[in-house]
Structure 1
């Protein structure tokens, strides 16, 4: 868990995103228990209801499953669900604006791909 939360963003979203990142990065595996709302509340000194809101959103998205009396656990499909969701968000937030700007500048698809590949090659050196 991160040591601090950002005061400029809703806390429940930050908790949700921390868990998502941990699942995507495989710091938390499918079938593993995640910290409870009380553990998050104690660690960050926040209201347990705030932590519960972020965790419950992940339950609603089939990322986590409640096991009564035991805790919250990562579902088998959690990572693939999260990656699909993030790819869609990436496309909407980055690719569509990129394509729109490229169109304004009369940059062809081929030129755009060349630019992307050129940057990729620079990273390899």
Structure 2
């Protein structure tokens, strides 16, 4: 499950976010405890705890003392908004800069996108 590309805690957080986005974890749904997570994936509990702490700080999960961790009601919307912002900043802004340098107009880009089967559906 884990690769060497990113810290394990970040990979755990990303996996939980992906499960929220694909509907495997639903709003209000209970998430495995950090100890269960650590035992299941055979990792240090502190590593799992850091991932969960980050997700709580981001507002994706919330903790009910003595009960467990749960998916925030607006987690999916929040994650979608975060993805959208990163997409514009990390993908479209560099694309626009490169298009300008290459002399490609906005109209050319839009026309191209329209020719791609189902690209914006």
TM-score higher than 0.5: yes
For residues 118 and 69 of structure 2, what CA distance do their matches in structure 1 show?
A: 43
Consecutive unaligned residues in structure 2, runs of 5 or more? none
Partner of 2:22: 25
CA distance in 1, matches of 2:45, 2:118: 46
Distance 1:92 1:57 in 2: 22
Q: RMSD of the alignment, in Å?
A: 1.5
Structure 1 stretches of at least 4 aligned residues deviating more than 6 Å after TM superposition: none
Deviation at 1:85, TM superposition (A): 0.4
2:70 partner SS: strand
The equivalent residue for 1:42 is 39
1:122 offset after TM fit, Å? Answer: 6.7
Q: Does 1:16 align with 2:13?
A: yes
Please state whether the residue corresponding to 1:30 is helix, strand or coil.
coil
TM-score w.r.t. the length of structure 2 is 0.93
**What are the ranges of 5 or more consecutive residues in structure 1 without an aligned counterpart?**
none
Deviation at 1:9, TM superposition (A): 1.2
Q: Distance in 1 between matches of 2:82 and 2:118?
A: 29
Q: How many residue pairs get matched?
A: 120
The secondary structure found in structure 1 opposite 2:73 is coil
Partner residue, 1:116: 113
Equivalent residue number for residue 70 of structure 1: 67
Provide the TM-score with structure 1 as the length reference: 0.90
